[in-house]
Amino acid sequence: MQVKVTEGGFDEQQFLSAVASGAPPDLVYVDREIIGTYAARGAIQPLDECISSAQIDMGQYRPAAVQQVTVDGKVYGIPEFYSVRVMMIGNKAVRDAGLSPAEVDTTDWSKLAGMAEKLTVTEGGKLKRIGFDPKIPEFLPLWVKANGGALLSEDGRTAQLNAPKVVEALTTTAGIVQASGGWGKLKSLRDSFDFFGAKNQFAKDQLGAFPMEDWYLNVLAEASPDVDITVAPFKDRQGNPLTFVTGSAWAVPKGAKNPDAACRFAKTMTEASTWVAAARARAEARAKKDLPFTGLYSGNKVADEQVFGEVYKPSGDAKFDDAVQTVLAVQEVAFATPPSPAGAEFQKAWQDAVNRVLTGQMEPAEALERAQGEAQAALDKAAGG
Amino acid sequence: MASSATGRRARASGMSRQETRWAWLFLAPWVIGFLVFTGGPMIASLVLSFTEYDVISAPKFTGLDNYRQLMSDPAVAKSLGNTVFYTALHVPLAMAVSLGLALLLQRVGRASGLFRTIFYLPVMTPAVAVGILFLFLLNGQTGLINAMLALVGVQGPNWTTDPAWIKPGIVLMSLWTLGSTTIIYLAALNNVPRELYEAARIDGASSWRQFRHITVPMISGALFFTLIVNTIASLQLFAEVYTMYFGNRATQESTTDAALFYVVYLFQQAFQFLHMGFASAMAWLLFLIILAITVLQVRVGNRFVYYEGD
C-alpha cells in the first residue's frame, strides 16, 4: 500500500471541496468533535462494514472516544489520541501567595475568586501574573459538568445553554477571570506567552494555575524540564476528580476510492503495537536528550496498558512522574461532549456567549439565553427539523 | 478613381477586421479568465443564493429565505456595522496619511527612489504575516505600541481584547500598507505643472492656498480613484482580520463580535457552517452595497474631479 499524505493540518475547505467534486482523499484525520456534523451532512461514511471486514475490535477503544464518533448507532471514526485535562499549578506562585498546591482545588467555588486574586500579581497597572486562568470559553463544558450540568443533551439534539447550572458555571468562571486581572489584561498576557518555548508562562512565573490538556506535559518536559509545577486532578463540586476528553479520529470520506485500504490503515494506526512502537521511539528520542518521557495517551485502552506497562519508566523527576499518574487516573472519569449534527455552530453559539460576558457586553443569563436560541435553531436546522 | 477609392476602403476595412481579430486574441486570456473565474461563479452564486446548499448534498430551492434571514440575523447587521465603521475610519485616514507621505517624498529629492522603495516594501508583506505581526505589536500588556505610548505617559488600551479598541487597532494596522496609495499620489503630484505654483507665488499665495487651490484640484483624479479603490477594499477586508482574530482555534474561541467583519462572517457561514446558499446571499448583498456606494461616489465625485483634457 502506498500512502500519500497532505502535509499540514486538516483543511475543512479543501476537504469539503474535494468531497463535493467527487475526488476526496481515502482517509482524513479530524477532531472527533466534528465527526457528528460531517456524519449528519453525509461527508463521511459509516465504518460498520469496514470494522467487521477488517476485524477491528471496538472494545479496545475508550468508551468516551467511541461515543464521540458514534452517530445514530453507527461508528464514523476510529479514535486516535485521547487528550484529558488536569490542573497545572505554578509552585512559586502558590508559595508567594502563602498557599500550598493542594489548596488550589476547584471543589469549593466560593473560594475560587479569592484564591485567584491572591495568586494574581499586578505592577504599575500591568498584569504580571494571571492568578488562575479557568480557560474559558474553551473549557466551559468542564466547569458545567463539574456543576452537575451539560451544554448539550445526550442525543446531541437539544441545547441546554440557558440551564441554571450553565449560568452558574459561567458566572463563577467569569468571576475568576475578573479576580485574575480582568479579561482584557488576562487575554493580552496569555497571548504573549511563549507557550511552547523555554520561557513559557510557568518558567517566567506569569501564571498561577490553569486546567490544561495532558499533551502540555510533553511540551514542558522538553522545553523547560526544570520548571517548578504540580499537576493535580480537576475536581467537581463534590470533590471528585473530573476531566473532559477530546482527540482525533480517522474517518473515511464519502466517495473514497479505496475504503478498504483506508480502513486497514486506520486499524493499523490505532492498534496497540503501533502505539507501543511510537512510544518507544519517543522514549528513545527523549532519553538521547536526557529529558523525561511523559507517556503517550491514546484512545486505545489496551495500547495504553502496554505503553505504560512496557515502555514508560518513571524518570525520577517527581513532578513529571506524579503528573503521569494523575493523567492516567483521571482518564477513567473522562466525559466527552456528545456528537452533534451542528457541532461548529453549537460551539460558536456558547463560545460567543462566554466572550460577550467576558468583554462586559452582556450578563451571563442574557448571553446564554441568546446562545440557546442560536444553538437550538442550528441544531434543528441540521437535523432537518 | 472610384475603383481605387473602393479598393482603399476595402483594404482599410480588411485591416480593421484584422486588427479587431488581433485585439480579441490579446484580450482572450482576460475575457476567458473573467468568464470562467469571475462571471461564471457570480452567476452560480446568484443561483445558489436562492437555495439551501451544504456543498455535499444537492442544492434545495428555498426562494427568498436566505435574503429574509439576512434581514433577521443580528450577526449580519453587526458585521456590516463593523465593516462600515472601519471603512469610514480607514479610508479618509489612509488617504490623508498617504498624501502627507507623498508630499514629503516629493521634497526628498535625490533619495526619493530609496524612500519610495522603503514605503512600498510593506505592501509586499503577506497579509497573514501583517496580521500576526500586529497581534504582537498591539498586545495591550506586552506590545510595542503601548510601550511607546508609555514613554510619553499614555497608558495604552487593550487593543486586541477590549471591544471598544479592536476596530481602531485594526485601522492602525491598516496604515502599515499605504505604499500603493502613496505612490499613486506621488505620481499625480509630479504631474502638476510647476508654472501654476510659480504664478501663484508671484500673486502672493501662501503654501496652504497653493495646496488647497492648485495641488488638491490637480490631483483630484488620483484622490477620487483611491477613494473608490480603498472603499471597495475596506468593505472586503478579510485576510488580516481573519488571521488576527479567527486564524486558529485559540483565537477563534476567544474573539468578540467587535472583530466580526462582513467577509469573515460570510466565510464562516460558507466553510465552517456549510451554509453556502446563505453565504452566497451575503456575497450578493455586499456586491449591491459596494455598487451603490461606488455609483454614489462617482456621481458626487464627477462634480469635483479635474480630468486632464476637460
Cross-strand partners of A231: A88
- Residue B137, pLDDT > 60, answer yes
* Tens-place pLDDT, residues A108-127: 999 999 999 999 999 988 89
Q: Mean of the pLDDT values across residues A75-99?
A: 95
* Tens-place pLDDT, residues B164-182: 999 999 999 999 889 899 9
CA distance B221 to A183: 47
CA distances to B89, B127, B264, B275, B282 from B239, rounded to whole Å, are 18, 6, 9, 20, 18
Cβ–Cβ of A188/B161 closer than 8 Å?
yes
* Tens-place pLDDT, residues A269-278: 999 999 999 9
How much is the pLDDT for B4? 65
* Tens-place pLDDT, residues A8-26: 788 888 898 888 888 999 9
CA distance B275 to B58: 12
* DSSP conformation class of B34: I
- Residue B89, pLDDT > 80, answer yes
Which residues in chain A are contacts of B256 at CB distance < 8 A? 355-356, 359, 361
* Tens-place pLDDT, residues A160-200: 999 999 999 999 999 999 999 999 999 999 999 999 999 99
Cross-strand partners of A28: A251
How much is the pLDDT for A6? 82
Q: Mean of the pLDDT values across residues B90-104?
A: 95
Which residues in chain B are contacts of A359 at CB distance < 8 A? 161-163, 256, 258
Strand order in the sheet with A248-251: A28-31, A248-251, A78-79
Burial A55-83 (b: 16+ CB within 10 A, else e): ebeeebbbebbbbbbbbeeebbbbbbbbb
Which of A37, A53, A30, A209 shows the shortest CA–CA distance to A116?
Answer: A209
Cβ–Cβ of A41/B254 closer than 8 Å?
no
* Tens-place pLDDT, residues A264-315: 999 999 999 999 999 999 999 999 999 999 999 999 999 999 999 999 999 8
CA distance A352 to chain B (A): 7
> How much of chain A, in percent, has pLDDT values that exceed 70?
100
Higher pLDDT, B65 or B255: B65
Which residues in chain A are contacts of B268 at CB distance < 8 A? 348
Counting Cα atoms < 13 Å in the Cβ hemisphere of B257 gives: 20
- Residue B119, pLDDT > 70, answer yes
**pLDDT bracket for residue B11 (50, 70, 90):** confident
Which of A340, A358, A34 shows the shortest CA–CA distance to A172?
Answer: A358
How much is the pLDDT for B115? 85
How much is the pLDDT for B301? 83
Nearest CA in chain B to A11: B271
CA distance B266 to chain A (A): 13
CA distance B231 to B223: 12
Which helix (H) or strand (E) is A230 found in, with range? strand A229-232
**A321 touches B: beta carbon within 8 Å:** no
Higher pLDDT, B3 or B210: B210
Among B141, B254, B272, beta carbon nearest to A189: B141
Residue whose grid cell is 499625480: B188
**A377 touches B: beta carbon within 8 Å:** no
Cβ–Cβ of B140/A138 closer than 8 Å?
no
* Tens-place pLDDT, residues B250-278: 787 878 889 999 999 999 999 888 899 99
CA distance B26 to A223: 58
How much is the pLDDT for B255? 82
Cross-strand partners of A90: A229
**A378 touches B: beta carbon within 8 Å:** yes
Residue whose grid cell is 442574557: A366
How much is the pLDDT for B252? 79
**pLDDT bracket for residue B125 (50, 70, 90):** confident
**A356 touches B: beta carbon within 8 Å:** yes
Which of A331, A330, A119, A337 shows the shortest CA–CA distance to A209?
Answer: A119
A and B: number of Cβ contacts within 8 A: 85
CA distance A375 to A381: 10
Q: How far apart are the first and last CA of chain B?
A: 42
**pLDDT bracket for residue B247 (50, 70, 90):** confident
Cβ–Cβ of A137/B271 closer than 8 Å?
no
How much is the pLDDT for B308? 67
- Residue A385, pLDDT > 70, answer no
CA distance A172 to chain B (A): 18
Give chain A's domains with CATH numbers: 1-84+245-327 (3.40.190.10), 85-243+337-382 (3.40.190.10)
How much is the pLDDT for A344? 86
Which helix (H) or strand (E) is A286 found in, with range? helix A272-288
User: What cell was used for A304?
Assistant: 495504553
Amino acid at A83: S
**pLDDT bracket for residue B3 (50, 70, 90):** low
CA distance A162 to chain B (A): 19
Which of A82, A3, A23 shows the shortest CA–CA distance to A253?
Answer: A23
* Tens-place pLDDT, residues A28-61: 999 999 999 899 888 999 999 989 988 999 999 9
CA distances to A142, A216, A217, A234, A291 from A84, rounded to whole Å, are 11, 10, 11, 10, 23
- Residue B310, pLDDT > 60, answer no
Cβ–Cβ of B160/A191 closer than 8 Å?
yes
Q: Taking all residues of chain A, what is their mean pLDDT, rounded to a whole number?
A: 93
How much is the pLDDT for A83? 95
Fold of B65-304: MetI-like fold (1.10.3720)
- Residue B15, pLDDT > 80, answer no
Nearest CA in chain B to A357: B256
Residue whose grid cell is 434581514: B71
How much is the pLDDT for B113? 81
Among A137, A254, A344, beta carbon nearest to B273: A344
CA distance A143 to A82: 19
CA distance A85 to A210: 10
Whether the CB-CB separation of B59 and B275 falls below 8 Å is answered with: no
Delimit the domains of chain B by residue range: 2-48, 65-304
Q: Mean of the pLDDT values across residues B90-107?
A: 94
Counting Cα atoms < 13 Å in the Cβ hemisphere of A340 gives: 27
Within 10 A of A269 (CB to CB), how many other CB atoms are there? 15
Q: Mean of the pLDDT values across residues B14-38?
A: 91
Counting Cα atoms < 13 Å in the Cβ hemisphere of A290 gives: 1
Among A17, A184, A345, beta carbon nearest to B162: A184
CA distance B73 to A155: 27
Among B54, B158, B258, beta carbon nearest to A185: B158
User: What cell was used for A356?
Assistant: 460577550
How much is the pLDDT for B17? 86
Nearest CA in chain B to A373: B73
